[in-house]
Structure 1
Amino acid sequence: MMLPVMHRSSMLIEKHVPLRGRLLDVGCGYGFFLKMMEMRGWRVEGIEIS
């Protein structure tokens, strides 16, 4: 599953952007990453072409 990749991505983002704010995910698919980041305190938006 994608959980290890999503976890590493979230840690990388939070390392370089320490203040949680807004997050845009382009090509978000079903939005699993956005949901995880929302639960971590981010305000999220996503866009998916399909």
Structure 2
Amino acid sequence: MPQLNPAPWFLIFIFSWFVFLSLIPPKVLAHTFPNEPAPQSTKTPKTDPWNWPWH
């Protein structure tokens, strides 16, 4: 693999990460979920025992 001059590529690398870190996080953090989770009740639901047909 040939050795590349890092001068232009390092600037492109830094600039692309700057764009990535300045544009993407605000878009992700601005996302709202349509269904906010509701608090769970502390009451335990009544469960019926399972009737196995062969038991």
TM-score normalised by L of structure 1: 0.33
Q: Which has the higher contact order (CA 8 A, sep 6+)?
A: 1
Q: Tell me the TM-score normalized by structure 2.
A: 0.30
Larger-Rg structure: 2
